């Protein structure tokens, strides 16, 4: 059996894994990355590419306590804005990053009140979003429906091409010296004095430190290291229209309905926003993450209805593709990023906002893995779930 040694072993060939590998390797750290399938085959390549720096609707709709907690992540959003602005130059790659601004809209008085509360939280955290009335929203985005009452406008929001971002990080990581293995599913993880021993079907890898950044598979891989990690797979729906002339430069979201919209560099309009699909089931019970999730017809109808009600011009376009993707959310909906206290040297990174915040997570993780104290990750630390592992031997 082949045995390889590295300073840091990364499990997961998505955005966070490849970007962290690059950040580490360019400082001289010996990095090996293992990916069970192909690079960018998971949620990093299946999502719609939104760069949503406003507090997301999913936090606002679940009560004041969660909204207050989520507001604290705005500090990371501010860092992410700067990271995305410089990313193409830093990587020397065209990632189709567009940051022409974003609008989160409201169409009822109750939704306007939600926007007002959100804007107050964001302002308190230093985010440059502002509440505008319907007329001003339409002066920024003339394609919005006439019944839109108000919107939160953030000039920095936008989108990028998820099919380009992770491959660019992977290429940069390889060029910096990272050894990348695809088709290398992890079978065992042994936590030993001074490091970790990880086995695939035909090879063994040893490293001083370990990062698990495998998206929806994080919980299963963490279990190989005898750890509970409360990340749960969820299947979502995305849609794409035919190409049309440039019409929708902003990222559009809705505070009261599941909706995100943006127009790609090729001209297609992508429509998503968190509508569920159905995870495949194993015959013996449990979810089958290796199988494609099934689209739910009511989700498709609801997603397109929200899009048409918000931006009426999309009703004239043909829908050419719908697809499902599997991501993961944590028990409290915040990402889990950082070192696991009970297993020094083992880091995890996953959960919501992994595309928007992925480059920032990678930059901060590289510092943390190098031994630096990184206060920006305190809110997201796995330590908040340490009680789940208090009975693990």
Q: What are 145-168's pLDDT values in tens digits?
A: 999 999 999 999 999 999 999 999
Mean pLDDT of 77-94: 97
Q: Is residue 238 a contact partner of residue 57, using CB atoms and an 8 Å limit? A: no
Domains 2-45+163-230+332-388 and 97-156+232-330 share a fold: no
Structure confidence at residue 88 as a pLDDT band (50, 70, 90): very high
CATH class in words for 2-45+163-230+332-388: alpha beta
- Phi-psi region at 223: left, alpha or beta (left = phi > 0; alpha = psi -120 to 50): alpha
Structure tokens at 237: 């729906």
Q: What is the pLDDT of residues 244-264, one digit of tens each?
A: 999 999 999 999 999 999 999
Confidence of residue 69 (pLDDT cuts 50, 70, 90): confident
Q: Tokens 């997201």 label which residue?
A: 380
28 φ/ψ angles, rounded to the nearest 5 degrees: 100, 0
Per-residue confidence (pLDDT) for residue 57, from 0 to 100: 80
**Which pLDDT score, from 0 to 100, does residue 20 have?**
98
Q: How confident is the model at residue 65 (pLDDT cuts 50, 70, 90)?
A: low
As a whole number, mean pLDDT of residues 322-329 equals: 95
SS3 assignment, position 297? helix
How much is the average pLDDT of 212-227? 97
pLDDT digits (tens, 9 = 90+) for 342-377: 999 999 999 988 999 999 999 999 999 999 999 999
In this predicted structure, what is the pLDDT of residue 167? 98
The pLDDT of residue 58: 76
- List the single range of 28-37, 63-72, 284-293 with lowest mean pLDDT: 63-72
Using a pLDDT cut of 90, give the percent of the chain over it.
87
The percentage of residues in the chain with a pLDDT greater than 70, rounded to a whole number, is 97
Binning pLDDT at 50, 70 and 90, where does residue 62 land? low
Mean pLDDT of the chain: 95
Q: Which of 87-96, 222-231, 384-393 has the lowest mean pLDDT?
A: 384-393
What does CATH list as the number for 97-156+232-330?
3.30.9.10
> With 90 as the cut, is the pLDDT of residue 72 above it?
no
**6 confidence band (pLDDT: 50, 70, 90):** very high
- Give the start-end residues of each E strand in the chain: 2-11, 31-35, 50-51, 102-106, 130-133, 150-154, 158-159, 179-182, 188-192, 195-199, 203-212, 231-243, 251-254, 260-263, 268-272, 319-330, 336-339, 346-350
pLDDT tens, residue by residue, 174-190: 999 999 999 999 999 99
Domain edges within the chain: 2-45+163-230+332-388, 97-156+232-330
């Amino acid at each position: 059996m082949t045995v390889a040694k590295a300073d840091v072993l990364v499990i997961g060939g998505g955005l966070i894994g490849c970007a962290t590998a690059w950040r580490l390797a360019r400082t001289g750290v010996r990095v090996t990355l293992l990916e069970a399938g192909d690079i960018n085959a998971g949620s990093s390549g299946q999502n719609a590419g939104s760069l949503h720096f406003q507090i997301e609707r999913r936090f606002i709709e679940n009560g004041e306590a969660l909204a207050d907690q989520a507001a604290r992540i705005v500090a990371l959003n501010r860092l992410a804005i700067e990271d995305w602005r410089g990313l193409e130059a830093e990587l020397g790659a065209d990632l189709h990053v567009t940051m022409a601004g974003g609008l989160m809209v409201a169409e009822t008085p109750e939704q306007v009140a939600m926007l007002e509360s959100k804007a107050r939280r964001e302002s308190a955290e230093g985010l440059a979003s502002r509440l505008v009335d319907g007329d001003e929203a339409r002066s920024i985005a003339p394609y919005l429906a006439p019944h839109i009452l108000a919107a939160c406008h953030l000039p920095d929001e936008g989108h990028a091409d998820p099919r380009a971002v992770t491959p660019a990080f992977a290429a940069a990581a390889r060029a910096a010296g990272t050894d990348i293995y695809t088709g290398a599913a992890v079978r065992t993880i042994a936590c030993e004095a001074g490091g970790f021993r990880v086995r695939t079907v035909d090879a063994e890898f040893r490293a001083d430190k370990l990062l698990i950044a495998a998206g929806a598979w994080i919980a299963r891989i963490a279990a190989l290291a005898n750890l509970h990690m409360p990340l749960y797979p969820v299947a979502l729906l995305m849609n794409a229209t035919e190409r049309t002339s440039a019409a929708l430069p902003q990222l559009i979201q809705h505070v009261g309905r599941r909706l995100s919209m943006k127009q790609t560099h090729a001209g297609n309009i992508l429509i998503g926003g968190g509508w569920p699909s159905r995870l495949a089931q194993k015959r013996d019970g449990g979810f089958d993450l290796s199988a494609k999730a099934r689209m739910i017809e009511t989700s498709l109808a609801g997603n397109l209805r929200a899009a048409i009600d918000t931006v009426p011009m999309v009703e004239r376009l043909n829908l050419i593709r719908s697809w499902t993707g599997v991501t993961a959310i944590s028990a409290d909906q915040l990402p889990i990023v950082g070192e696991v206290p009970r297993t020094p040297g083992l880091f995890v990174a996953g959960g919501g906002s992994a595309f928007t915040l992925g480059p920032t997570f990678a930059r901060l993780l590289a510092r943390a893995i190098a031994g630096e104290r990184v206060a920006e990750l305190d809110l997201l630390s796995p330590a908040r779930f340490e009680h789940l592992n208090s009975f693990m031997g």
